[in-house]
Copies of this chain bind each other. A is one copy, B any other.
Amino acid sequence: MNIKEAGKRANLPAKTIRYYEEVGLIRPLRDTNGYRAFRPQDVHKLGFLGRARALGFTIEDCRVLLSLYEDQSRASADVKEIAQRHLTQIAEKIAALKAMQDTLSHLVTCCHGDDRPDCPILADLAPPS
């Protein structure tokens, strides 16, 4: 199976798949013409990677998760720990974004938004001189 077909099945762009190979996440075989030859298990891995990336795991997390996935003697605790660390980071990002959102949405409701220059948004951005 060529790269485009593999991408279609795993729902990933060909460019992304080439990148995943470059960073060593997958190792598809090669046809005699140099084309990548994807086996079903390669496509399966790609699907795994796509899902893990969609959940926000980094490439390095994906590398570890994939190796755990393929390790029949893994401990689920190892997987859980990675997921929990990731959850912590997600929570931090959400908190930071919410803080921005709170501040900004307040300022936006305060701003007339007309053709006059007075603007509480700019007033808030200005440092206390």
Contact = CB atoms under 8 A, between A and B. Distances in A.
| Copy count, this protein chain | 2
Interface stretch (A19-27, A28-36, A43-51): A43-51
A122 B114 CA distance: 53
B83 A90 contact: no
B94 A125 contact: no
A99 to B, nearest CB: 9
Chain A, interface size: which category? Answer: 35 or more
Interface in A49-92: 50-52, 54-56, 65, 68-69, 71-77, 79-81, 83-84, 86-87, 90-91
A104 interface: yes
A65 to B, nearest CB: 7
